[in-house]
Amino acid sequence: MNPGTARLTRTLALSALALALAAPRAPAQDTTASAADWAARNEVVYQIFVRSFRDSNGDRIGDLRGIQEELPYLQRLGVTSLLLTPVNPSPTYHNYFASAFYGVDPDYGDARALHALVAAVHARGMKICLDEETQYATFDNPWFVKALGHPLSPYGHYLLYDGPGNTDPSPIIYGLKALPTWTGVNIPVAPVNLHDPAVLRYFEGLFASLASRRGDDVDGFRLDHMQDELDGNPRLAHLFDDFWAPVLAAARAVHPGLEVFAEQADWGFGEDWLTRGRADLVFAFPLERAIGSLNRDSIAAAIRQTLARTPPGKGQLIFIENHDMSRFASRMGGDLRKEKVGAALDVLLAGTPLIYYGQEIGMLGEQSHAWSSDANDIPDREAMKWTAKVACRGCAVWYQDTGPWWTNRFNRDDDGISVAEEQGDPNSLLSFYRTVLALRRERAEIRLGDERVLAAGAPGVLAVLRATPAAASLLLVNLSDSAATAAVPRDSLPATLSGPLVDLLSGGPPSASGAALGVALPPWGIALMARAGASGRGR
């Protein structure tokens, strides 16, 4: 039997057990906008694709215990919050379509393992958030099993059907009625009737239970594929008010500090999700696309628009890659200089930085279009590279020897891209991430300050001022293949950047005085200028 098919069969058999165990162009002059007044700006979020992160028991599948074992690594990196992809039972390898909305996939552990991980995270003063996908149910979900062909079942109205008798489940996104998977198995799926009163009560209870602050409960949720009208289906319209408002109110009633990350389904600026959708943060997709372009004017415009279009008291998750797109390092052609540019913009711009597992070591991976299934995303979900060898002890190579996604994988033995190979190298990407994350932690203006794009006096150079009344720093990035000298007018800088300035990244000599701050930058060079001797520390 194909290993993937065997895993599918095992998952189906254990679903009941899992349920029992738990339930435009840059402006000519300066432009200013205030950063959102949101406490999550103090956070650094690390997104973990659970199956691919760390295996603790030798079965080559990432699990909850494996994440717990690597908390020291994550904390040293500078992470304060974990965001896990779904952990609930599912016949898919990514767990985004649920066999049960409550519980733990046996591949990852059980309820006790989840509680132990949450407790260990909290013991380190960190937070943990779960990715929740509530809109669809697979064929092995009890709601599907007990209602198909049985409209009078207690679950008869939990899912949507076309025609009488509950015999024809409605399609989901793209008109799909079954999910083509990497194993060759098509998984029947149906949309959840989110307007059904019993379904609403169920999810109110589920979210409140997960967030109930008993000491081992989660600190937030990512809401996958969130929409007001799901997949253009008029039967699932007005969800912001009719479904998400009461569900989130129930969770916040037991956990007032709960953090809600909405994945806005249109991948835009997310204003509607932050206002009518009642989310706290959305994902800065337009800024991600601009950073990936490495175009100064595009990045400057996206910074300005993101700030202007984020409502007061709300926030943006700044990121450069995730589980649904090609890895940043692959898009940059493996150029370490450009990877460091991405890191600097991810961490030092206004917002809450999100780091996708392995991003900090430059893992490779390009989304494929070769297969008409969820295999297309395996390349951007390959096993975390802990050592020089891909298939090391603890490496979560769950897809090993299963097909072309293994034989043609992007991450290879002894390629210089791993925690072990980069750990002691001061010039490595991992070291650079640790440096910029430490600066963010130490300097209040980077975490909490306003953000302003300044004229840099050189084509291709991006200049971004981060400032509070007490401290300031100036990020300079040369987005070109040629050396350049930034010339930032000193009268555009606050008093906290008067006098000699030093580069916090290179530790170079103080800048010379003059009407303009001149900083020489190599191709793809980065500098973070601050007043000599000023710590920038603050809350």
Residue 380: pLDDT above 60? yes
Q: Which 3 state secondary structure label does DSSP give 223?
A: strand
Task: Choose the weakest-confidence range: 32-36, 139-143, 430-434.
Answer: 32-36
String of DSSP letters for 63-101: -HHHHHHTHHHHHHHT--EEEEPP-S--SSSS--SBS-S
Kindly state the tokens that stand for 89.
């039972």
**How confident is the model over 25-33, as a mean pLDDT?**
34
Please answer whether residues 115 and 87 qualify as being in contact, where contact means their C-beta atoms are separated by less than 8 angstroms: no
End-to-end CA distance of the chain: 57
String of DSSP letters for 109-135: --HHHHHHHHHHHHHTT-EEEEEE--S
Return d(Cα 331, Cα 339) in angstroms, integer. 9
Residue type, 279: A
Residue 336: pLDDT above 70? yes
Return d(Cα 189, Cα 180) in angstroms, integer. 11
Return d(Cα 141, Cα 328) in angstroms, integer. 36
Q: Please state, in angstroms and as integers, the Cα–Cα distance from residue 229 to each residue in 111, 226, 240, 247, 353, following that order.
A: 33, 9, 8, 16, 29
Residue type, 94: H
Please answer whether residues 330 and 411 qualify as being in contact, where contact means their C-beta atoms are separated by less than 8 angstroms: no
pLDDT tens digit sequence for 432-474: 999 999 999 999 999 999 999 999 999 999 999 999 999 999 9
Kindly state the tokens that stand for 181.
């998977």
The neighbour count for residue 532, using CB atoms within 10 Å, is 12
Please answer whether residues 311 and 35 qualify as being in contact, where contact means their C-beta atoms are separated by less than 8 angstroms: no
Residue 481: pLDDT above 90? yes
Return d(Cα 382, Cα 376) in angstroms, integer. 12
Return d(Cα 82, Cα 67) in angstroms, integer. 10
**pTM for the whole thing?**
0.92
Q: Which 3 state secondary structure label does DSSP give 151?
A: coil
Rounded CA Rg of the chain: 24
Return d(Cα 193, Cα 325) in angstroms, integer. 29
Q: Which of 428, 335, 328, 317 is nearest to 380 (CA)?
A: 328
444: part of which helix (H) or strand (E)?
helix 444-448
Return d(Cα 156, Cα 138) in angstroms, integer. 15
Return d(Cα 328, Cα 321) in angstroms, integer. 6
Residue 3: pLDDT above 50? no
Q: Which of 200, 276, 282 is nearest to 241 (CA)?
A: 276
Fold of 449-531: Immunoglobulin-like (2.60.40)
pLDDT at 534 (0 to 100)? 61
Residue 216: pLDDT above 80? no
Return d(Cα 120, Cα 124) in angstroms, integer. 7
* Pairing outcome for strands 178-180 and 259-264: unpaired
Residue 121: pLDDT above 70? yes
The neighbour count for residue 114, using CB atoms within 10 Å, is 24
Handedness of CA 211, 279, 53, 8 (dihedral sign): positive
Per-residue pLDDT band at 17 (split at 50, 70, 90)? very low
pLDDT at 135 (0 to 100)? 97
DSSP 8-state assignment for residue 195: T
Classify 36-133+284-438 by CATH class. alpha beta
- Nearest 5°: the CA angle 154, 155, 160 is 140
Q: Which 3 state secondary structure label does DSSP give 489?
A: strand
String of DSSP letters for 445-473: HHHH-EEEEE--SSTTEEEEEEE-SS-EE
Fold of 136-193: Oligo-1,6-glucosidase; domain 2 (3.90.400)
Q: Which of 343, 463, 457 is nearest to 31 (CA)?
A: 463
Please answer whether residues 196 and 158 qualify as being in contact, where contact means their C-beta atoms are separated by less than 8 angstroms: yes
**How confident is the model over 262-282, as a mean pLDDT?**
97
DSSP 8-state assignment for residue 357: T
Residue 277: pLDDT above 50? yes
Domain boundaries along the sequence of the chain: 36-133+284-438, 136-193, 449-531
Kindly state the tokens that stand for 56.
């603790």
Residue 418: pLDDT above 90? yes
Total H helices, total E strands in the chain: 18, 19
Return d(Cα 238, Cα 225) in angstroms, integer. 15
Return d(Cα 370, Cα 368) in angstroms, integer. 6
Q: 């603890």: which residue's tokens?
A: 394
Average pLDDT taken over every residue of the chain: 91
Kindly state the tokens that stand for 118.
């949450």
- Length reported for the chain: 539
Return d(Cα 250, Cα 534) in angstroms, integer. 45
191: part of which helix (H) or strand (E)?
strand 186-191
pLDDT tens digit sequence for 35-67: 334 567 899 999 999 999 999 999 999 999 999
pLDDT at 512 (0 to 100)? 74
